[in-house]
Amino acid sequence: MSVIEVQDISKQFGTLKAVDSLSFEVQQGDVFGFLGQNGSGKSTTIRMLLSLIHPSSGSIKLFGLPLKEHRNELLEKVGAIIERPDLYPYLTAKEHLQLFAKVRKKHITTSDINATLEKVGLSNRSTDRVQTFSLGMKQRLGIGIALVHNPSLIILDEPTNGLDPQGIADIRHLIQYLAKEEGKTVFVSSHLLSEIEQVASQILIIHKGKKVAGGATRQLLDPNKTIVHITTLNEEAALKAIKVSTFANYLLPRKDGIYFCMPQEQIPLLHKALVMADIPLLNVETKNSLEDYFLQVTSNTQ
Amino acid sequence: MWKLISVELYKIYKRPRTYIAFGAIAALIVVIQLGLKIDGESYSGFLMKDINDTLSIEGKILNGYLICYILLQLLLVHVPLLVALIAADMISGEANLGTLRLIFTTPYSRTQWVMAKFVAASTYTILLLIWLAFLALFVSIWIFGTDDLFLMKSNYVVLITEGDVMWRYVGAFVFAAFALMTVTSLGFLMSSLANNSIGPIVGTMSAIVFLTILSTLNIPLFSLIKPYLFTTHMNNWKEFFDLQVNADNEAIKGSILNIAKIKNSLIVLTLHIILFVGASVLIVKKKDILS
């Protein structure tokens, strides 16, 4: 079942097209990594998913229902943290959760609130005012607000901002726990690509408001599609040798160097073939992380 | 809806800024009451100096009722500025904090949130007015006692008997509630237009000052628009303290000289409230939450 269905949405701010005909689907139980550079349209898309921004065109469905017509009913099932953890400085952590529990249709008990505080590691600071909190603590409280009503869909925009390495690991474990143990759908955007790589089952990369890549993480980072970049003292000779070899099929049409997309087991053979052809090799670099993939697809569409 | 109102009231209650207005009103009233208690004789002597030769007044002129009237004349001009501190911050303050996106992703419509915020801001305004009434009327009565209310208008005097005063104050405070709620709704409208707190607060205060000047200037050009300005009507609580007279020029107990003027002012103020709040709802509904 699709929890999120985005059909051809666009958002225009004056002359700037922040999101351009974007379509994607998120299935129930997915951890969906939403990636893009700064200004690529991630936050605008997330704000449209939460009806904070009205799309210029296109449609959004959550849980199979149009967001525009069923906004209130649908937002009851959604918990979200958007960009910065902006909170009321004069309220305590517990008061924040009580306040946001109150505006939910379902009854949320004090023990639910305490459990949420425990879940985000703020039990011992629950009665402290937020103005005394570090950025990381505010971020955790923001996640607590998103979780307090036990939503089916959790939208987290940069949830690891301001967190220390332990805090980042805690959020990663929390996302994994929410998806695996509680069957929740998590839509997460982050700049920490290594973190997304570890948790996301599906990935969507956008650039300048447009979708540039997407699919299952395993397929995108398929070892049969490892990116190989070679550096040589004589690029012209290298290309000449490659084009008459069996590796010509793996060559990528790039102008910024010699790149291949090939199965991992072929890499030693490529190395050997280049040496045998007397190509003065300086470096053979394999790129198969999400970061490499992200940089590859976004640089291709500059 | 009640849930949203209680949430908004809770936020107002927890904000330190809320108490500035209550403190400022208390400080002003106490200082004036103290001054009149210590040197009230010379003050009332000054008031009466022009009519002492023609009128002989018995009893206590400087009583709680007169003190309250003096305080209302002084303060009801300034209270709108204090009201603006909270009302003009209700939406823009949240936009500035970034919390608007938190509340607008809850399962309630923006219209419901805006209305809840307006009700909460109006509750604050009315509580402020009750506080003002308590200090200005009841504390003054406690300190200075009661007697007939003797008021000097521009070219005549009004004497309202002791038993005929209290209901007039009730009427005046209800009227003042409408006037201040108009200010609240103006602050609200300003608040819906901005993403920072200072602009709408200063904007509301400036608008009140500007419109008050237009309302008081006797220039024919402005006379055309004066009846439509809410500031023209805000001070008409004083109409509760003007009495009709009979053929013998005696004041008629329980009467109001110009009740139509009060009704007209209430209608103008109510229309302004509807206009300002309606515009706020429309603006917030259309707004993209980018902050």
In the predicted model, residues of chain B with pLDDT beneath 70 are: 48-57, 291
Residues of B in contact with A73 (CB under 8 A): 107
Structural Rg of chain A based on CA atoms: 23
CA distance A197 to chain B (A): 28
The answer to whether the Cβ–Cβ distance between A82 and B105 falls below 8 Å is: yes
Asked whether residue A301 carries a pLDDT value surpassing 60, the answer given is: no
Mutate to test the interface with A, among B106, B109, B110, B282 (most CBs of A within 10 A): B106
Residue B84: what pLDDT? Answer: 85
Per-residue pLDDT of A56-73, as tens digits, reads 999 999 999 999 889 988
The whole-model pTM stands at 0.82
Q: Is B9 exposed, middle or buried (0-12, 13-18, 19+ CB in 10 A)?
A: middle
What is the residue whose two structure tokens read 């801001």? B121
Question: For chain A, how are helix, strand and coil distributed in percent, rounded to 5?
Answer: 40, 30, 30
d(CA A71, CA B105) in angstroms, rounded, equals: 9
Packing angle, helices B2-14 and A93-102, rounded to 10: 160
Beta-carbon separation of A102 and B107 below 8 A? no
Report the 10 Å Cβ neighbour count for A57: 12
How far apart, in whole angstroms, are the C-alpha atoms of residue B161 and residue B251?
10
- Confidence band, pLDDT 50/70/90 cuts, at residue A288: low
> Which of A160-174, A191-205, B174-188, B195-209 has the highest mean predicted lDDT (pLDDT)?
B174-188
Nearest-angstrom CA–CA distance, A36 and A47: 15
pLDDT at A302: 54
When comparing pLDDT for B271 and A85, which is higher? B271
Contacts of B100 (CB under 8 A, 6+ apart): B91, B94, B289, B291
User: Is A264 in contact with A225 (CB distance < 8 Å)?
Assistant: no
Amino acid (one-letter) located at A126 = S
Measured in angstroms, the CA of A140 and the nearest CA of chain B are apart by: 15
Q: Nearest to residue A203, comparing CAs of A192, A191, A219?
A: A219
Predicted pLDDT of residue B97: 84
Residue A103 has pLDDT above 60, yes or no: yes
The pLDDT tens digits for A28-52 are 888 999 988 888 888 899 999 998 8
Average pLDDT over residues A218-224: 72
Question: How much is the pLDDT for A299?
Answer: 67
pLDDT at B149 (0 to 100): 85
DSSP B252: P
Determine which of A209-213, A287-291, B13-17, B79-83 has the lowest per-residue pLDDT on average: A287-291
Q: Which of A54, A72, A102 sits opposite B107 (nearest CB)?
A: A72
Q: Which residues contact A274 (CB under 8 A, 6 or more apart)?
A: A230, A232, A238, A241, A242, A281
How far away is chain B from the Cα of A180, in angstroms, using its nearest Cα?
25
Structure-block tokens of residue B222: 């402005």
Answer whether residue A222 shows pLDDT above 80: no
Q: Out of A76, A84, A102, whose CB is closest to B107?
A: A76
Kindly state the average pLDDT of the residues A202-206. Answer: 87
Contact B6 A102 (CB under 8 A): yes
Distance CA B132, CA B125 (A): 10
Phi, psi of A5 (to 5 degrees): -130, 110
Span between the terminal Cα atoms of chain A, in Å: 35
Helix (H, G, I), strand (E, B) or coil at A136: helix
Share of chain A above pLDDT 90, in %: 17
* Low-confidence winner among A74-78, A82-86, A297-301, B42-46 (lowest mean pLDDT): A297-301
Residue ranges per structural domain of chain B: 2-286
Chain A within 8 Å of B106 (Cβ-Cβ)? yes
Q: Let me know the angle formed at the C-alpha of B207 by B205 and B209, rounded to the nearest 5 degrees.
A: 70
Of residues A297 and B122, which shows the higher confidence score? B122
Q: B149 or A220: which carries more pLDDT confidence?
A: B149
Give φ, ψ of A146 to 5 degrees: -70, -25
The rounded distance, in Å, linking the Cα atoms of B65 and B62 is 8
Prediction ipTM score: 0.78
Q: Which residues contact A40 (CB under 8 A, 6 or more apart)?
A: A206, A207, A208, A209
3-state secondary structure of B63: coil
Q: What is the pLDDT of residue A298?
A: 73
| Under 8 Å between Cβ of B47 and B34 | no
- Other CB atoms within 10 A of residue A150 CB: 15
User: In DSSP terms, which residues pair with B101 in a beta bridge?
Assistant: none
**Segments of B88-160 assigned E as strands:** 149-152, 157-160
